[in-house]
């Protein structure tokens, strides 16, 4: 068995290879003068694990090229983060269902696929091969416990993420709630927990994805105004686009933590263990 990682998922690919006691294939990545991408991986075994988060167009092309390069092997595709998954339906005439288009393109030539906290699990059927979506909730709980927050209030950013917060809170026997947004006038909104008070409490906002950080920054400022002792956040997929780092830091937020499904300076815990377990069980 060989593990092959894309250029932006080398660390998590290495962690998975260590847990599988498998070789991590040396892979060359380069670019032709016209901008086309080139990949070359080392000798392939009968079974290959391709690991790559879909974070941009280049990683999509690299995944397609690696799948083709390993065509003589039994391929398991591990997508720690699947971009384009949030467009899972057509909202306007002429729009693509992006999740379907990407899944169908990646499903060709592979035997099975594993994702982590894909935004909409129903899209797994678009791959056309057996697909498994793993949960990182035990890893999130372990990370929160390791930091040693004092009786944190686990808070979802909205009602849609309440179940996610509830599952994390249940793991650690913590209280949880979700934020509700009330528009006060044309320029001002209020965000506060639905049931519980935050005064003098450590608040931990949890979500599957942090993208631009705008809602999180606003929530942090308002919760601090409501007397929260500190506001921290933990997510699965940390995109942190469009100046999110500066925005979050200026909001007064404390710790910002994400997994290594997208490898950034905020990666504080790893998705490698549940992904490896899924590989072994498939």
Write out the catalytic residue numbers: 181
Structure tokens belonging to residue 137: 């909730």
CB-based contacts of 153: which residues, under 8 Å, 6+ apart? Answer: 174, 175, 176, 177, 193, 196, 198, 201, 202, 203, 204
Across-strand partners of 55? none
Separation CA 86–CA 89 (nearest Å): 9
Largest CA distance in the chain: 63
CA within 13 Å, CB half, 22: 25
Instruction: Determine contact, residues 91/53, Cβ cutoff 8 Å.
Output: no
Instruction: Determine contact, residues 41/83, Cβ cutoff 8 Å.
Output: no
Structure tokens belonging to residue 228: 């929260």
Strands of the sheet containing 74-79, edge to edge, are: 23-24, 2-5, 47-51, 74-79, 112-116, 131-134
Q: Which residue from 9, 257, 220 is spatially nearest to 145, judged by alpha carbons? A: 257
Place of tokens 């994702």: 115
């Amino acid at each position: 068995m060989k593990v092959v990682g894309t250029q932006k998922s080398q660390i998590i690919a290495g962690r998975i290879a260590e847990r599988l006691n498998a070789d991590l294939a040396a892979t060359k990545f380069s670019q032709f003068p016209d901008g086309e991408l080139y990949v070359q991986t080392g000798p392939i075994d009968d079974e290959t694990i391709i690991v790559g988060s879909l974070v941009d167009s280049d990683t999509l092309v690299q995944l397609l090229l690696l799948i083709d390069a390993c065509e003589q092997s039994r391929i398991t595709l591990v997508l720690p983060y699947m971009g384009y998954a949030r467009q899972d339906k057509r909202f306007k005439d002429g729009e693509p269902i992006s999740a379907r288009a990407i899944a169908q393109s990646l499903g060709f030539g592979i035997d099975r696929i594993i994702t982590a906290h894909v935004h909409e699990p129903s899209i797994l059927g678009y791959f056309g091969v057996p697909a498994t979506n793993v949960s990182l909730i035990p890893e999130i709980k372990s990370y929160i416990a390791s930091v040693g927050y004092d009786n944190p209030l686990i808070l979802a950013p909205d009602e849609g993420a309440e179940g996610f917060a509830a599952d994390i809170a249940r793991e650690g026997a913590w209280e949880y709630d979700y934020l509700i947004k009330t528009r006060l006038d044309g320029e001002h909104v209020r965000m506060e927990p639905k049931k519980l008070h935050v005064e003098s409490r450590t608040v931990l906002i949890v979500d599957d994805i942090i993208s631009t950080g705008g809602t999180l920054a606003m929530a942090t400022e308002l919760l601090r105004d409501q007397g929260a002792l500190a506001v921290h956040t933990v997510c699965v997929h940390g995109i942190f686009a469009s100046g999110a780092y500066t925005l979050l830091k200026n909001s007064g937020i404390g710790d910002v933590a994400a997994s290594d499904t997208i490898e950034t300076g905020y990666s504080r815990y790893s998705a490698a263990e549940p992904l490896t377990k899924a590989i072994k069980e498939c």
